[in-house]
């Protein structure tokens, strides 16, 4: 399973392509992948090694105890981004692993800025066995793929699921949820959290004020004016990380106006994709929030948790985020706040409905091809994305794993319920985007210019000019691998 291709220092250390100052989201959605389905192709799982019946609170079929052939006694090391989801779910999955494989030591470590800490280990050829590559300053997945640094997960995808008898691991995951982890027909990345993105508010506050969440963007601007007149700030966002407004507002507005094709054209680096009328209109509409002073003063200087704390204090009504928000701010959430998420309002005359929502599988995990225990890394992922683990995640993190049956029989929070309802209402209109994962330089340019736009340092026209120029540079750069999506 090990790659024989050496890691190029030039590629891996090149400029800012390896670091993201924004959140790594993922970007991973339920739309169909342009590549072959994840569970197809690649080698079959190796014959299982002998194993004893594990001490677990659920039954495990004999063929599901050790289908990957994990060598007894060989330690497994996991290093994980410790962010909005915390680390309790990681420790829980590690406990499942230890019960399943008591002869194998399983160590887990939570860190920040994964790229800065793990890049030297990749260069030295001794990366951990399994990594959660999320958060600010994460590793550039596309660069790692190009260098052959990620293991093909086909054996895992084809292996028996841990606690769903008769199903392979791949068959227990939401259809399409792992699409953007497939590169050139190989499943190289797994996304362990099904995230719904949108605009958050306190349902209690809106009910007390007699305000209704708007279904159109013009209605949003009207409500913002009403809120402002009442002496409140309509909006805040994670000021130091403007990418929240990219995935939370800008990309959804592009969809609401131009439909999925407008996003596909951007992802595929089509000539002039950012200059099209629907994109210009979306940028202009988002800029209205800043031009009309609807954004809380001081937002630009706030971290994500600081901005979210101000929102929880009632200092702003609306906030863009994903469904990790509830768990990230659990300790600061006032009783009775009842946070809920809504889709970005539609635009009159646009192609996307109000119900259309950006939802995807995020929190990207992978197994390095140079790891000392590749099989151990895959086996941890089999435990992590089990039904038992998914239920723990739903109950204790208030978020969803893309595991079929992962929320059966449990009580969910207000935010999680609103997210599940939103996905159900969206039906086939669940969309995502890929340029954030595929093209780091372009993603950073969009993020940075969004920050400038929302502080009135640049105009929408200057935003478009700058971002289109960067898209053209990325397209023309022969050293950047290009990808294509059709849906």
441-450, pLDDT tens digit by residue? 999 999 999 9
Q: Are residues 136 and 224 in the same domain?
A: no
- Whether residue 252 lies inside any domain: the answer is yes
Quick one: which H or E segment has residue 289? helix 277-291
Angle between helices 251-267 and 277-291 (to 10 degrees): 150
Query: Where in the sequence is the domain holding 376, given as residue range(s)?
Result: 9-195+360-411
94-144, pLDDT tens digit by residue? 999 999 999 999 999 999 999 999 999 999 999 999 999 998 889 999 999
pLDDT score of 58:
84
Using DSSP, state whether 357 is helix, strand or coil: strand
Q: Are residues 109 and 248 in the same domain?
A: no
Q: Are residues 54 and 176 in the same domain?
A: yes
69-95, pLDDT tens digit by residue? 999 999 999 999 998 899 999 999 999
pLDDT score of 418:
95
- Whether residue 418 lies inside any domain: the answer is no
- Residue 362 confidence class, pLDDT cut points 50, 70, 90: confident
Q: And the tokens for 32?
A: 């169909």
CA–CA distance, 368 with 348 (Å, rounded to integer): 47
Q: Are residues 324 and 231 in the same domain?
A: yes
pLDDT score of 30:
30
- Whether residue 429 lies inside any domain: the answer is no
- Whether residue 481 lies inside any domain: the answer is no
Q: Are residues 83 and 208 in the same domain?
A: no
Q: Are residues 188 and 42 in the same domain?
A: yes
In sequence order, what are the beta bridge partners of 79?
A: 109, 131
Q: How many CA atoms lie within 13 A of 128 on its CB side?
A: 24
Contact 445, 247 (CB under 8 A): no
Q: How many CA atoms lie within 13 A of 337 on its CB side?
A: 22
In order, the DSSP letters of 249-286 are IIHHHHHHHHHHHHHHHHHTT-TTGGGSHHHHHHHHHH
* Planar angle of CA 134, 244, 453, nearest 5 degrees: 135
189-234, pLDDT tens digit by residue? 999 999 999 999 999 999 999 999 999 999 999 999 999 999 999 9
- Whether residue 73 lies inside any domain: the answer is yes
- Whether residue 74 lies inside any domain: the answer is yes
270-322, pLDDT tens digit by residue? 999 999 999 999 999 999 999 999 999 999 999 999 999 999 999 999 999 99
Q: Are residues 337 and 244 in the same domain?
A: yes
Q: And the tokens for 380?
A: 């941890």
Q: Are residues 238 and 294 in the same domain?
A: yes
Q: And the tokens for 186?
A: 């190989």
- Whether residue 113 lies inside any domain: the answer is yes
Q: Are residues 352 and 364 in the same domain?
A: no
CA–CA distance, 113 with 115 (Å, rounded to integer): 6
Domain count, the chain: 2
* Planar angle of CA 384, 389, 395, nearest 5 degrees: 140
CATH of the domain at 376: 3.40.190.10
Q: Are residues 162 and 232 in the same domain?
A: no
- Whether residue 20 lies inside any domain: the answer is yes
Examine the pLDDT at 438 and tell me if it is beyond 50: yes
Q: Are residues 316 and 402 in the same domain?
A: no
Q: Are residues 452 and 313 in the same domain?
A: yes
């Amino acid at each position: 399973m090990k790659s024989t291709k050496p890691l190029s220092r030039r590629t891996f250390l090149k400029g800012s392509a390896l670091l993201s100052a924004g959140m790594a989201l993922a970007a991973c959605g339920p739309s169909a992948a342009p590549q072959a389905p994840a569970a197809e192709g690649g080698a079959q799982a190796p014959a299982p090694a002998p194993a004893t019946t594990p001490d677990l609170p659920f039954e495990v079929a004999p063929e599901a105890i050790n289908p990957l052939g994990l060598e007894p006694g060989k330690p497994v090391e996991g290093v994980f981004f410790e962010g909005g989801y915390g680390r309790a779910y990681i420790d829980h999955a590690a406990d499942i692993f230890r019960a399943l494989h008591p002869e194998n030591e399983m160590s887990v470590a939570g860190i920040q800025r994964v790229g800065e800490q793990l890049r030297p280990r990749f260069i030295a050829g001794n990366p951990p066995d399994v990594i959660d590559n999320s958060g600010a300053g994460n590793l550039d997945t596309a660069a790692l793929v190009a260098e052959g640094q990620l293991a093909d997960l086909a054996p895992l995808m084809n292996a028996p699921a841990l606690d769903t008898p008769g199903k392979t691991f791949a068959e227990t995951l939401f259809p399409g949820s792992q699409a953007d982890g497939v590169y050139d027909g190989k499943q190289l990345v797994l996304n362990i959290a099904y995230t719904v993105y949108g605009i958050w508010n306190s349902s209690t506050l809106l009910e007390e004020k007699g305000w209704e969440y708007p279904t159109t963007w013009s209605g949003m601007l009207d409500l913002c004016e009403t809120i402002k007149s009442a002496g409140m700030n309509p909006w805040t966002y994670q000021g130091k990380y403007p990418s929240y407004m990219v995935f939370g507002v800008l990309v959804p507005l592009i969809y609401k106006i131009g439909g999925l094709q407008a996003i596909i054209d951007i992802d595929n680096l089509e000539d002039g994709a950012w200059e099209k009328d629907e994109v210009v209109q979306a940028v202009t509409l988002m800029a209205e929030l800043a031009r009309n002073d609807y954004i809380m003063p001081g937002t630009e200087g706030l971290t994500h948790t600081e901005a979210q704390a101000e929102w929880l204090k009632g200092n702003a009504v609306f906030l863009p985020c994903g469904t990790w928000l509830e768990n990230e701010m659990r300790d600061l959430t006032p009783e009775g706040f009842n946070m809920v998420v809504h889709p970005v309002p539609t635009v009159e005359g646009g192609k996307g409905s109000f119900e259309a929502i950006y939802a995807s599988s995020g929190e990207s995990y992978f197994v390095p091809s140079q790891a000392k225990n590749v099989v151990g890394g895959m086996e941890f992922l089999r435990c992590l994305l089990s039904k038992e683990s998914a239920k723990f995640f739903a109950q204790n993190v208030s978020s969803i794993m893309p595991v079929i049956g992962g929320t059966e029989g449990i009580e969910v929070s207000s935010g999680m319920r609103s997210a599940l309802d939103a996905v159900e209402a969206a039906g086939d209109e669940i969309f995502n985007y890929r340029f954030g994962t595929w093209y780091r330089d372009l993603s950073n340019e969009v993020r940075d210019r969004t920050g400038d736009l929302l502080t009135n340092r640049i105009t929408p026209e200057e935003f478009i000019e700058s971002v289109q120029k960067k898209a053209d540079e990325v397209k023309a750069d022969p050293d950047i691998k290009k990808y294509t999506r059709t849906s």
